[in-house]
Structure 1
Amino acid sequence: MRRARGDITPFAEFLATIEDVKRPTNPKDLKNLYYQYRVVRPIANMSPGMAIDSLKRMGYIRLRWTGQNTPTVEYLPRLTNLAANANAAVLSPAQQSLLYDSRKDLEANKMDVRITPINTAIQTAFGIPESSDDIVVQMNSTKAVEVTLTIGNHSQTDQSLERAPYMVPNQSSIVLPQWQWALTLPPRRKVKMTFSVRPRFHGLIKTVLVFNFTQFVICRFIEIRVEDAAIVEDIKTLQPTTPFIRKKQPRVSEVLDPKNEVVPGVPPPRPDFLNRMKHILKQYSIPRSIAYGFSQGDFANVDPNESPFPVIPGFHLSSLAALYHLEELQWCFDIRNYDMKDAMLAQSNRYLALTVPGLAEKRPSVLYGDKVLVNVPGETKEWQGYVHAVRQEEVLLRFNPSFHNHIWLPNLRVNIRFTFNRTPLRRIHQALELSSSIDMQLAFPSEPPQPPRTLPTIGAGARDFNKEQVQAIQHIVLHSHGRLPYIIFGPPGTGKTKTLVESIIQVHKKALQEKRRIAILAFAPSNSAADQMVERLKDVFTSSEMLRFNAYKRAKEDVSTVVMPYTTWDDGKGCFELATLARVRKARIVVCTAIMAGVLYSMGVEKGHFTNFFMDEAGQATEPEFWVGLAGLIDTRNIRSQVILAGDPKQLGPIIRSRVAKAWGLDKSYLERITDLPVYSTTTSPSLSSTAATPQTDTATQSSSSFKHPHLITKLVANYRSHPAIIDLPNRLFYGGDLLARADQNMRESLCQWQELPKKGFPILFHHVEGKDEREGDSPSWFNADEAAFVKRYITKLRDARGFGVDERQIGVITPYRKQVMKIRRLLGTYSGVRVGSVEEFQGQERRIIIISTVRSTTDHLTHDQKHHLGFLQNPKRFNVAITRAKALLIVIGNARVLRSDESWEKFISYVRTNGGWVGPDIGNEGMEDLVRGVEGLTLQDGAVGVVTAEEDPEWSLVG
């Protein structure tokens, strides 16, 4: 929040840093001190008298009269409490931003004291022409260059430096002279100060040299770019192609109520099965009240604690529906980020082909049957083109015949506007409408059944499972959770999907033994997770017993040859045919996405047909997606109806685009919400302590936390993925120290002796790089060429390392911004086996080696990033997923000064440094200096329309 011009808090925080015995006790002296402070820091614009009154009013001081003519200033405890803030260990992004915002005033010579301009001094020392705008020097690990500044007192009075010059922040590449604490400079005298610069590491040496005189401060802002010749060429290839110009955002009225005339196009043939639907899917348009409130800015100021749509008993379904309407409104704006200007359409038989960059990665998501709007510049009407085919980066469109015959020309330039398919959103609202009759013990579990006295013996197939996995399977087979959902809480690498699949197998086996009817619906939020279940079940169920229920729009190329026999692909029609009711009823198990489960209801599958509901990756689905899997299908009156969830509420939740809907809880999955309820709580609180604990290994046998009702939830604790050092910190931060390192020893230690590791045996490396984060064109997404070049260097060194057997396919690169993904892919070129993607794309995956590029390296926009949980800042779930994908080696490339403003990253950096995994210049323990004490950040004010998803550009969710 921007400080008021008359805010006394910065001065109060400055006072808090002064020793008690040195604070002025005479009001006149206090006024003089404030006057000096205001000269140096012109941010509290009030008179000294008003300042004293403000300090009294806010409870920092009081004036005590003891019979004398002048009162005594007494400092109150509230002022002392500010000292903790004032002495924070690291400059916050806001404080650094303010420091640089005040650069002109701070650099100015004052009261006839003149100090050599810093660029002049550095250019002289390094032999750089003074005409150069930037100071760029070559990396040299051995040679130090001496830079000399002249400090001259041209006034008629003595000028005193109160303390030795210092840097904010400290830079290990710069060594200042050991001056005496105070220095008095007589009139007309000069003194030289020489400091050394040793450009040992690639990146930016950026600091502020502070000269703290008695009555004022003069600063010199140092910026030296050090270049490593080995990666300079790679960095040059990634420089911005065009300057960044923020794309103009459309007005709310343009998006919600476009006035253009739309000429309908020619749709592709309507699949026959759409005419066989028993339950018609309503439109569920956005209510006028919500759309109007949105357009009027009613949702601009969001208080997470005061949601008008609380997810509480009696209101949760209507609240979730309202939040999804807000989410759809955000979709309306986000899809406009893909608008194309001056595009060209090419003739392709009876179609017109449009090339769409990013289409292969669903940015934007354009599917068969979707609509694209085309506008000829100078005209008001838009021509609607239906998508008849989708290729890698190209869609084939058919418009009204008059467009093909009379408007289109080979070189015609047009403007393109994309739309999105509302059907998944409509299924969400249908499910919420249907769920009003569902048992409240499913919506808000609170009454656990009695725990079983004994658990059943599991068959021979379960011998490969550990104690916790077997326990989960036993409770699920026995149905000891009753009407309440059973949760398989699966931290990274603990085999939750394996446990879920075995539970399906054992439940099915028991039903056959008891000769009772069973019909299983297994669903997940994504196609990949649903396919994975089929691949694990293929050896148990035949193609007549198991059905993989696909959306007809899904591309055949996305489905593996293992899964295809379980689908209903029709070669003649070139699409997935909708299974008949008879085929669905015959199947012992149907596997689909959550959204496609809604189609089962629409086609007429009876309530109660499915007896057992299994949801994998439940933490990645919105709560309404969970209800789509059950609504209209589950009979909660049937005591044999069973709901099982597998997931990890500590990892990434669903992708929500709306800032408002996210703040009010739409990003919380059903799994996360119910695990917060008392019935699923633990009997002991997890520990989040110190970063120096020893990882639990194979010798550990006891989990440190247990649940009040273990017949409702089991936490899997054996991690079969990672080296103990890799899992150690997230284990303590997120899982109460319960996880046991059980990964194959040969695999997890396979890179512990890699020559680039600073400390052999500790397979984590943090490479501190002070690079430059940039944007280009009209894309708001960030990239960092320096970090991208180091990613390539490490991959090259890994690939060429002898004796370690590194294959490109064993390497994954994670970065939070879409533009950095694209830059790294471009730079890697022929390294086609390396997967590069966002954190979301790596959830549920693992690689032998993970390299993380954190991108952000300047503080200018970090308050914005932190506020919106962008990148890795203030997003512990994203942090958790990123650092737990690696099996044997984790490399993080980033700017530690920036990352340390986040609590999770601060712990990680401290952990790596303590254990010897640090590479790059030492950043030390940066102290808060007088110059920046008490500075609060400036936050950006957003409206109801969020702008943040464009910066990361996530894949479009809600998969059919």
Structure 2
Amino acid sequence: MAQTANASDGAAFVSEHARRINQEPGIVIYDTSPTNGINFVAYTNHELMQSLLPAAVALDPTYSYQAASREGIQLRSGNYERFFRFHLDGEIGAQQRANDSYSLYQHEGVVEFAQGPWGGQQNQAVVAVVVPGLREDTPLVEREDVVQLRQLRYNSTSGHLLLHHPDLSGRLNPVLSEVLLHPSSFHARPQRHQLRFNVQFPVATHRYQPMYYVLPMIQAALRRANEMTIPAQRMAELETGNWVSTYWTQSMLFPTEADCDVQTNIDADIAIQARFDPALNHEQCVAVANVCSQNYGILPCLISGPQGTGKTKTLAADTLADRLRPFFSPGEMLRLNRPARGFAEVPESLLPYCYASNLSFGLPPMEKVMSYKIVVTSCRDASMLMHARLTNTDLHALEYGLRHRLHPSEPTPYPNQQLHWDALLIDEAAQATEPESLIPLWVVSPPLDSSNLVFTPLVVMAGGD
């Protein structure tokens, strides 16, 4: 029976089928964003975090390793970045040439495609390779380092080697007591196979990236200090106290007599504070007291001496954490480790002081990091704090930048400004390269041109002659 529309209604006829379409859920939805809307997520991220953090300083784009090789570079504050970039580039090149000598050719590898305890996809492969004469640092490979495999394929009829070889990139993963290669791409095959590979050990350049990252920021700090070369201007800065943060980095790396407070009566009537370790002798107590008194100016303190003179007793690394353990709870002291470090490498007594997540070491949440009184780590692993933007410079910018935005009418600069990291102690400093030591140095460095600081961070280095 035909349906007719009532002309008096003023509306066109719509079939029931057409009306029902609007009631069905959409399968593919294309949503158009509002043209004049506000992205509140982006606004919040920018206003409460990104815009408060200082911008990272880029590497010098005019640097060239070839040009530096021809010209030669001397270590000065004005070319600090170029000098160490040149030597880091040379170190990586030398390390790669050394690693090339450990390459394996037509080497047998046992390939297993079943899923193992390392996780991953069902068809992901594991290659077990025996490396003859493998010792520490020969070559230097660690967990999650990349190893390159080139599968050798042969003609099934003639047995000749084919020119096309799949290039595979694997990462080292510990399985039980062995170290196996875990390729990220491989065509699935059943069960186990014995195949032939060429094996290469590329340099893990990610170990050097934190050093490249920190160099331009150190250079910017040195450049800022070099700009204050007019004696009258520097004297004015000295009188106001604003010079401390401006010249702090220069004082650590290129100290001069202007950074020193001359002492004419060394060790006289020095107050030896209460100590945790009653086994410290008088000389060790004097060294600690001199460091804490800060009577020698804004410059690094060096505890040196031949073997057996108690430097490690005064300052230590893992040993230091273990010696401090009876006096600090796991909530007060952190033993910070990079994710690639194995649990078996850490003394069992220190494991409660380490942070782990997803079966590997890591960086605790920011609130937890800020609650620790002491963080014990290596120069290399201190890069975790740098990349997480937990340096004194970043934390100072967040704290006082947000305060200014919340209370813009308050007068600035704020009085009695405090920094989070108040001391850096480097043990076995002679065994660390200068670019490595720059990483923790930058973590504790005060922000440039900041005034009214309650204190400036202490830097103490212990090492042999």
2:339 corresponds to:
552
Q: Which amino acid aligns with 2:360?
A: C
Q: Which string of whole-angstrom CA distances, capped at 9 and with x for unpartnered residues, describes residues 32-59 of structure 1?
A: xxxxxxxxxxxxxxxxxxxxxxxxxxxx
The corresponding residue for 2:461 is 645
Match of 1:473 in 2: 288
Question: 1:590 aligned to 375, 379, 385, which one?
Answer: 375
Q: Which amino acid aligns with 1:443?
A: L
Tell me which amino acid in the other structure corresponds to 1:475. N
Q: Which residue does 1:629 correspond to in 2?
A: 440
Do the aligned partners of residues 387 and 325 (structure 1) sit closer, same or farther apart at CA in structure 2, a change above 3 Å counting? same
Are the aligned partners of 2:57 and 2:216 in contact in 1 as well (CA < 8 Å)?
A: no
Cα distance, 1:554–1:381 mapped onto 2, change above 3 Å: same
Where does residue 449 of structure 1 map in the other structure? Answer: 261
CA contact (8 A) 1:449 1:481 kept: yes
- Is this contact kept in 2: 1:283–1:426, CA < 8 A? no
TM-score by length of 2: 0.64
In the alignment, is the contact (CA less than 8 A) between 2:261 and 2:296 conserved in 1? yes
How far residue 614 of structure 1 moved from its aligned partner, in angstroms, is 0.5
2:440 alignment partner AA: G
Distance 1:537 1:461, change over 3 A: closer
Letter of the structure 2 residue corresponding to residue 345 of structure 1: G
**Equivalent pairs, count:** 331
Alignment map for 1:325-404 (pairs within 5 Å) = 325-348=89-112, 349-350=114-115, 351-359=126-134, 361-377=136-152, 378-387=162-171, 389-391=173-175, 392-402=177-187, 404=188
Shift of 1:279: 9.4
Q: Does 1:319 align with 2:77?
A: no
Matched, 1:496 2:279: no
Residue 405 of structure 2 is matched in structure 1 by none
Name stretches of at least 5 consecutive residues in structure 1 with no aligned partner: 1-275, 300-306, 501-528, 651-960
Aligned letter for 1:418? F
Give the one of 187, 207, 213 matched to 1:430. 213
Whether contact under 8 Å (2:444, 2:457) holds in the other structure is no
Aligned counterpart, 2:298: 483
CA distance 1:354–1:283, change in 2 (3 Å) = farther
The offset of 1:393, in angstroms, is 4.9
* Aligned residue runs from structure 1 range 96-495, under 5 A: 289-290=64-65, 292=66, 308-348=72-112, 349-350=114-115, 351-359=126-134, 361-377=136-152, 378-387=162-171, 389-391=173-175, 392-402=177-187, 404-405=188-189, 410-436=193-219, 437=221, 439-447=249-257, 448-451=260-263, 454-459=269-274, 461=276, 463-495=278-310
Matches within 5 A, 1:686-705: none
Residue 463 (structure 1) shift: 4.7
Check the 8 A contact 2:363/2:384 in 1, yes or no.
Answer: no
> What one-letter code is carried by the residue in structure 2 that aligns with 1:643?
V
Question: Alignment RMSD, CA only?
Answer: 3.2
State whether residues 336 and 417 of structure 1, in contact with CA within 8 Å, keep that contact through their aligned partners in structure 2: yes
**Displacement after TM superposition at 1:454 (Å):** 4.2
Structure 2 residues not aligned, in runs of 5+ = 1-48, 116-125, 153-161, 222-247, 393-418
User: Residue 381 and residue 289 in structure 1: after superposition, are their counterparts in 2 closer, same or farther (change >3 A)?
Assistant: farther
Determine the C-alpha separation between the residues in 2 that align with 1:586 and 1:565: 16
Normalised by the size of structure 1, how large is the TM-score? 0.32
Amino acid in the other structure paired with 1:641: P
Q: Which has the higher strand share?
A: 1
- Residue 530 (1) aligns with residue 305 (2): no
How far apart, CA to CA, are the structure 2 residues paired with 1:413 and 1:460? 61
Equivalent position SS for 2:381: helix
- CA distance in 2 between counterparts of 1:345 and 1:587 reads 46
Q: Which amino acid aligns with 2:384?
A: V
Q: Give deviations 1:732-756, integer Å, cap 9, x for gaps.
A: xxxxxxxxxxxxxxxxxxxxxxxxx
Partner of 1:614: 425
Alpha-carbon distance, 1:370 to partner: 2.4
Give the conservation status (yes or no) of the 8 Å contact 1:309–1:323: no
Look up the equivalent residue of 1:375 and give its one-letter code. R
Tell me, in whole angstroms, the C-alpha distance in 1 between the residues paired with 2:195 and 2:127: 12
Contact 2:332 2:372 in 1 (8 A): yes
Alignment-mate amino acid for residue 580 of structure 1: P
* 1:287–1:410 distance in 2 versus 1, CA, 3 Å: farther
- 1: CA distance, partners of 2:362 / 2:99: 29
Aligned-pair identity in percent equals 24
Q: Residues 535 and 622 (structure 1 numbering): CA distance in 2 closer, same or farther, change over 3 Å?
A: same
Cα separation, 1, equivalents of 2:186 and 2:280: 63
**Distance (whole Å) between structure 1 residues aligned to residue 304 and residue 75 of structure 2:** 22
- Which one-letter code corresponds to 2:307 in the other structure? P
CA spacing shift, 1:455–1:288, aligned 2, 3 Å: closer
Give how far 1:482 is off: 2.8
Paired residue secondary structure (2:252): helix
SS of the aligned residue for 2:111 comes to strand
Shift of 1:574: 1.9
**Structure 1 residue 282, shift from structure 2 partner:** 9.9
Please state whether the residue corresponding to 2:86 is helix, strand or coil.
helix
Structure-2 change in CA distance of 1:606 and 1:624 (3 Å): closer
Deviations 1:672-704 (A, max 9, x none): xxxxxxxxxxxxxxxxxxxxxxxxxxxxxxxxx
| Separation of aligned partners in 2, 1:568 and 1:319 | 36
Change (3 A) 1:461 1:390: closer
1:553-573 deviation per Cα after TM superposition (whole angstroms, max 9, x unaligned): 101111111111110134xx2
Query: Could you tell me how far apart the structure 1 residues matched to 2:302 and 2:285 are?
Result: 14
Match of 1:796 in 2: none
Distance verdict in 2 for CA 1:360–1:559, change over 3 Å: farther
The amino acid of 2:252's aligned partner reads L
8 Å CA contact retained: 2:169, 2:183: yes
Give the aligned residue type for 1:310: Q
Q: Name the larger-Rg structure.
A: 1
Q: In the aligned structure 2, how far is the partner of 1:279 from the partner of 1:416?
A: 43
CA distance in 2, matches of 1:642, 1:282: 25
Residues 357, 581 of structure 1: CA spacing in aligned structure 2 closer, same or farther, 3 A cutoff? farther
Change (3 A) 1:281 1:375: farther
Instruction: Give the direction of change, closer, same or farther, for the CA distance of 1:625–1:439 in structure 2 (3 Å limit).
Output: same
Tell me if the contact between 1:434 and 1:632 (Cα under 8 Å) persists in the aligned partners.
no
Tell me the distance in 2 between the aligned counterparts of 1:314 and 1:321. 13
Deviation at 1:460, TM superposition (A): 5.4
* SS of equivalent to 1:322: helix
Given that residues 147 and 172 in structure 2 are in contact (C-alpha distance below 8 angstroms), is that contact kept between their aligned partners in structure 1? no
User: What is the alpha-carbon distance in structure 2 between the residues aligned to residue 483 and residue 358 of structure 1?
Assistant: 49
- Contact kept, 8 Å, 2:60 with 2:216, in 1: the verdict is no
